[in-house]
Structure 1
Amino acid sequence: MRTLSKEELKKLYEEDFPLWAEINLQLLKEKAYHLVDWENLLEEMEDMARRDLDTCISQLARILEHLYKWDNFKSLAGGKYAGMDWIRSVEDARDEIKGMFKEYPSLKNKLPLELERAWIRVQVKLRKWLRRNRYNPDEFNIPEECPYTYEEAMNRDLKKEVKS
C-alpha cells in the first residue's frame, strides 16, 4: 500500500471511510504516528464513546415518554387494559438499560446526568403522538422540565397502579 499524505488521508475520510479506518489502523500498528489523521480519528473515538450512552438516553426517553403517557393520557387510550403496552415498554427499556450497564459499567454513572436531555426527546415524541391521534399538542401543556426523577424512571412499578 502506497503511503498517503495527511491531506490525502483526510480526503479519504470523506470518500471511503472503511479504507480510511484501515489505513489509520495500519499506521498506528506501525507506530507511524506522524502520518495518522488525528483530527478525524479523535472525532470518531469521541463518537464511539457517546454511541452507547446515546442508546441509553434513548431508552430512558422511552421510559419517560411512557410514564408520562400513563400519568396523563390513560383516559385517551380508554378500555380496561389502557396503557398496558406502555408498562411493557417501560419494563423492556429498563431491561435494555440494565443490560448496557452490565456491558459498560461506566454508563451507570453517566445516565442519571442525562435526564433533561432525554426529556427533550420525549417532548418531541409526545407532540408527534398527540398530532397523530388528532389532538392539538399545545392544549396539553407538556412540561419544559422533566417531571420525573431518574430514580422514579428506573424504579416506579406501574403494575401496582393498574386498576383491576
Structure 2
Amino acid sequence: MSNLEYLQQLYETDDHLWLLETIELLKQRRFDDLDLQNLIEELESLAKRDQHKVKSLLEQIIRHLLLLQFWQEEYDRNKNHWRSEIRSFRVQLKDRLTTNLYNYLSSIFTTVYQDALGYVQEKTGFNVNFPPQCPYSLEQLLDIDYFG
C-alpha cells in the first residue's frame, strides 16, 4: 500500500490521525506524499466553517440592535440583556475577523440583514415597524460601543 493510499484510508477511519500525519508531512516538506484531495476538502470545509461563524455572529448583532432600537414594548425589561449580548457577539466576531472574512461579510451584508429582519419580525409578532434596509453600516455593527 502506498503512502497516499494509506492516508486516504486513514482519512476515512481516523480523521484526527490523518490530520496529524498530514501536518507532519507538511512540516517535512514531503508534498508529493500528501493526500491532496482530502486536504483540499478539509481546507474548503474550514473556510466555510469560518464564514458561517462570522455570518452568524453578525446576524446576532443585527437582531439584537434591531430589538434594542425598535421594540419599545420590551425595551425596559430587555435592554441590558440585549446590550450585553451585542457586546459578547462583537467580541467573538472581532476575535475571528480577518480581512478576507470582513470582505465576505461585506459581500453578503444585505442577505444577513434580511435573515436578521425575518427573525425579529417573527419574534415580535410583526407588531414592530422595522426598516426594510439595514439602518447600520458594517463599521457600526463591529464598533464595540455603538448601540444605535
Does TM, scored on the shorter chain, surpass 0.5? yes
Which runs of structure 2 are paired with 1:1-150 in the superposition (5 Å)?
4-75=2-73, 77=74, 80-101=76-97, 104=98, 107-119=101-113, 121-123=115-117, 125-126=119-120, 130=123, 135=125, 146-150=134-138
Tell me which structure has the larger Cα radius of gyration. 1
Post-superposition offset of 1:19:
1.7
Match for residue 153 of structure 1?
141
Post-superposition offset of 1:40:
1.3
CA gap 1:153/1:44 in 2 versus in 1, 3 angstroms:
same
TM-score scaled by length of structure 1: 0.63
- Identical residues among aligned pairs (%): 25
SS of the equivalent of 2:22 reads helix
Aligned residues: 147
CA distance in 2: counterparts of 1:142 and 1:13, whole angstroms? 48
CA gap 1:153/1:26 in 2 versus in 1, 3 angstroms:
closer
CA distance in 2: counterparts of 1:27 and 1:96, whole angstroms? 33
Gaps of 5+ in 2: none
Aligned residues of 1:66 and 1:89 also touching (Cα < 8 A): yes
Post-superposition offset of 1:69:
1.6
TM-score scaled by length of structure 2: 0.68
Gaps of 5+ in 1: none
Residue 113 of structure 2 aligns to which amino acid in structure 1?
A: W
